[in-house]
Structure 1
Amino acid sequence: MTDRQAQLDQSIQRIVEAIDRDSSVSLSVQLKGAIEFGIALGDLPAGARMPSVRQMAGMLGMSPVTVSGVYSTLQGAGHIEARVGSGTFVREAVAGRPVADLRDLDRRIAELVDLGRKLGIGPAELATRISHSGNRPPQALRLLMLGNFHATTASYADALQPFLAPQDQIFITTLQDGHGPDACPDPDLVIAPRTLLPQAAGMFPRAECFGLTLIPDQATRVSLATVSPDARVVAYSYFPGFVTSMKAGVIRFAPHVTRLTMVVHGDPEAEAQLAAADVIVYASGTERLFTDLPPGQSSFEYHHTPDSNAVRSELVPMLEALRIRPPGRKEPAP
């Protein structure tokens, strides 16, 4: 079994443990959201094989029809893909530029390096020759970061800055802003959390889109690890589809917490559940609800940040390929 398949199997098991039959959120919405956010957060790695519909239904005690409907929806959104005779797999993160093309580029570079060695040209001289092969400097890029909430979207953009060239520009917009192309006319690349790739492609049909992998940031992991084992913990999410993924994350980083309740925005019992909590863990975008807590009650944000490993291995090569593309040339929309 490969490492990524083992990672997927462990993440699926956490999803199974996190599904809540007593929640006001339907089982199908819980499962769809858990898989969708699991892919976006890198817990369900690209290329790994998903359980079959019958296997997943058996693990969850759900109807195969329900699981099949969830899989069909996720496949339509581009998160998973069915391969005839092989099964269902998590799709690659890049929209509009298949990772296979980047791997082909890496293969050709390796062949070029090998040819250089045969001619007595080392990697350093080869790199110099490549850098001077054109008469124009690398292009400055116009990037657009798309998210759900402005503050979190801005934090994602800030985290990406160290990976950009000084001349690059990164703009910010959210689904709530509704600015669409006006936020950044003719961007070279639209970057969005993987869960928002379908919306990004719809808002910017002429632009290439990249799905950003997110992970809970260090402050969130530390906060979860330091929660008292005796604490009554309530985790609050604005989106019904995120509650199961959030619960799975709390289980992963705070396995010692046994008194955990999930609450979703609009739940009629939300106010009573929150009032009884010792610790409130709130999803990004809901922080304004927890600015004035009673004595003895604490809270912290369940905040994500771009996965630096995925940024280096997936986003940076894509930026470099865009940077040397002839001016005015756009790849055809998929």
Structure 2
Amino acid sequence: MMRTETDGIDSALARIAAAIEPQSSVPVSVQLRGALEYGIATGDIPANARLPSVRRLAARLKLSPVTVSSVYTALQARGHIEGRIGSGTFVADRAPLPPSQTQRLADFERQIAALVQAGRELGLSRQDIAFRISMAPPAAVLPLRILVLGTFLDATKAYANDLEPYLSDIDTISAASVADLGRGAEPAADLVICPHTLTADAQRLFSNLPVLGMTLIPNEQTRIALAGIPPEANVGVVSYFDDFLPTLKSGIDRFAPHLGRITAVPRDFDGLPDLLARVDVLIYSTGAEYLLKSLRADQTAIEYRHTPDSHAVRSKVLPAIEAVRAKNQTKDTQNENK
């Protein structure tokens, strides 16, 4: 059976289609770019997934092919997607790849040969060499300083706290915002972890360090709060960033499908004061906390907060961290031998 070109991401595209509002004050191109960008960041649209052609996506979303083409161009410029000649457009896999297993084994074989030769020159037999290897103390593990980079410092610190239990006890982790770095802060780090949407900024700010993209999902507290909203509630949704609005709306539709009265707007929406006055529940993205002072005591507020996806941490981030550790350890050993 032939696979469709969007096989595996149809559900994500369906949520994007449902979330885009042509009547919104946010331009459709901004909505689509943000929805695709955050879909990639949250793992809804996974790395190496093949995207629909411009014409197919335009037809599916009932948009102009020119609009879709401009969005693809912008995402490609940001490093989120890439064109592969003769194959189509794919989500980029920006995680640093460790050396291939074949190359590593070849290097290992050369090191063994060199070790055996050195042993023979000292009059040692293969058995002597093997015995000495078995008795050798394990090499000290190199600790790493890991920096988590984000947009809002409070949320970024939460990402770092959520990542810490996965890390080795010898590693240290800290958090910084892009704004902090713009004010001259220079945290010491061996590698940088950030949401996929910030990898271009991180690579610009830390051109000499490896940058790992981090997949985010709504955290457990957010999911529980969304599920607990009464079905009859009048719900207002406010996004700090215009291009995050479709993703915010589709996430709410996904985790609170029982809600029927939802109004989603950007934070600069002209009618925002009236909306805040009449809603029972306000769902706001990180960064829009200032809206809380406009609410009454009988209104409920829920922050749409993210956390690193545990599966992606184990399958992508941790192996990439160990690859960086091995590379740095090799450099240290070479420097010691000079």
For the criterion TM > 0.5, the same-fold answer is yes
Change (3 A) 1:308 1:133: farther
Aligned length: 306
Query: Percent same amino acid among aligned pairs?
Result: 43
Aligned to 2:85: 84
Give ranges in structure 2 of 5+ residues lacking alignment.
109-131, 333-338
What is the CA deviation profile of residues 212-266 of structure 1, one whole-angstrom value per residue up to 9, with x for unaligned ones? Answer: 0000011111111121221111111110110011111011111111211112121
The 8 Å contact of residues 290 and 299 in structure 1, kept in 2 or not, is answered as yes
Please name the residue that 1:10 is paired with: 11
Rounded Cα–Cα distance in structure 2 between residues aligned with 1:159 and 1:4: 35
> Match for residue 225 of structure 1?
227
Q: After the TM superposition, which residues 106-117 of structure 1 pair with which residues of structure 2 at under 5 Å, given as runs?
A: none
Question: For the structure 1 residues 130 and 195, does the alpha-carbon distance in structure 2 shift closer, same or farther, using more than 3 Å as the test?
Answer: farther
Q: Match of 1:216?
A: 218
Residue 287 of structure 2 aligns to a residue whose secondary structure is: coil
1:105 and 2:101 matched: yes
Q: 1:145 matched to which residue of 2?
A: 148
Deviation, 1:324, is 2.5
1:188 aligns with 2:190: yes
Secondary structure class of the residue paired with 1:183: coil
Please list the CA deviations of residues 13-36 of structure 1 after superposition, one character each: whole Å capped at 9, or x if unmatched.
110000011211100000000000
Counterpart in 2 of 1:238? 240
Structure 1 residue runs without a partner (length 5+) = 113-128
Following superposition, the deviation at residue 131 of structure 1 comes to 10
**Counterpart Cα distance in 1 of 2:173 and 2:24:** 39
Distance 1:132 1:53 in 2: 61
SS in structure 2 at match of 1:62? coil
Residue 52 (1) aligns with residue 53 (2): yes
Q: Which has more radius of gyration?
A: 2
Distance 1:58 1:135, change over 3 A: same
Match of 2:162 in 1: 159
SS in 1 for 2:307: strand
Structure 1 residues 326 and 221, CA, compared in 2 at 3 Å: closer, same or farther? Answer: closer
Aligned equivalent of 2:20: 19
- Tell me the secondary structure at the aligned position of residue 207 of structure 1: coil
Residue of structure 2 in register with 1:115 after alignment? none
Letter in 1 for 2:171: D
8 A Cα contact 2:41 2:196, kept in partner: yes
* 1:274 corresponds to which of 262, 273, 276: 276
User: In structure 2, what is the equivalent of residue 116 of structure 1?
Assistant: none
Distance change (3 Å), C-alpha of 1:134 and 1:248: farther
Please report how far the alpha carbon of residue 326 of structure 1 lies from its aligned counterpart in structure 2 after TM superposition.
4.4
One of 171, 174, 177 as aligned partner of 2:174: 171
RMSD: 2.7
State how far apart, in whole Å, the 2-side matches of 1:75 and 1:163 are. 32
Give the aligned partner of residue 255 of structure 1.
Answer: 257
User: Greater shift after overlay, 166-175 or 61-70?
Assistant: 166-175
Kept in 2: contact 1:17–1:248 (CA 8 A): yes
Match of 1:91, as an amino acid? A
Kept in 1: contact 2:5–2:50 (CA 8 A):
no
Equivalents in 2 of 1:59, 1:319: separation in Å?
39
Aligned mates of 2:75, 2:133 — CA distance in 1: 41
Tell whether the 8 Å contact from 2:37 to 2:197 is kept in structure 1 after alignment. Answer: yes
Deviation at 1:288, TM superposition (A): 3.3
Which residue does 1:119 correspond to in 2?
Answer: none
Q: Secondary structure at the match of 1:143?
A: strand
State the TM-score, normalized to the length of structure 1.
0.84
For residue 137 of structure 1, report the CA deviation from its aligned partner.
0.7
The 10-residue stretch of structure 1 (213-222 or 4-13) with the greater mean CA deviation from structure 2: 4-13
SS in 2 for 1:325: helix
Is the CA contact 1:30–1:241 (under 8 Å) kept in the aligned structure 2? Answer: yes
CA shift in 2, pair 1:131/1:79, >3 Å: farther
Contact 1:11 1:44 (C-alpha < 8 Å) held by counterparts: yes
Amino acid at match of 1:240: D
Q: Give the letter aligned to residue 101 of structure 2.
A: L
| Matched position secondary structure for 2:50 | coil
Q: C-alpha separation between the residues in 2 aligned to 1:74 and 1:29?
A: 11
Equivalent pair of 1:173/1:179 in contact (CA under 8 Å): no
